Amino acid sequence: MSKIVRFLDYRRGASFVHFTRSEMNALLSLYSRQVMHGEWRDYAIDQHDGVARFAVFRSTHERPLFIVSKQVRGQARHGLMPCYQYAVQDPTRKLAQAGSLLDVLQVLDPPMKLVRG
């Protein structure tokens, strides 16, 4: 027996988390700097189970060096924008977690310091 599903109800139920254009610009800017230094060589973007992931690799055939993930923190109320949680992980542990992508990316690309000597 077939079931009738309204598209409006189906769309409301699905939560689709993705990186915005400005977030992708920040991620790809960091990626390009690391490629120039010879640290990273490949990346992958994934979206599964309400989590968006940006993984970077040293080689195409290895496990990811780091994974930057974005997921919804709590439930969004009707008419309000959801809050997101960002995290950076390496294969063994979580390195940083914050409410801003730029805050967690500082773990991977610390600012330069002036050294006098």
Tens-digit pLDDT profile for residues 30-56: 999 999 999 999 999 999 888 999 999
pLDDT-derived band at 100, boundaries 50, 70, 90: very high
DSSP string covering 15-49:
------HHHHHHHHHHHHHHHHTTS--EEEEEEET
> Can you give the C-alpha Rg of the chain in angstroms?
18
Give the closest residue to 55 by CA, choosing from 104, 65, 72. Answer: 65
Section 82-107 average pLDDT: 93
Give the closest residue to 58 by CA, choosing from 94, 92, 34. Answer: 34
pTM, to two decimals: 0.79
Angle made by CA atoms 70, 74, 78, in degrees to the nearest 5: 110
Judge contact between 63 and 88, C-beta under 8 A: no
Q: Which residue is it, tokens 């439930």?
A: 75
Give the closest residue to 67 by CA, choosing from 85, 84, 41, 44. Answer: 44
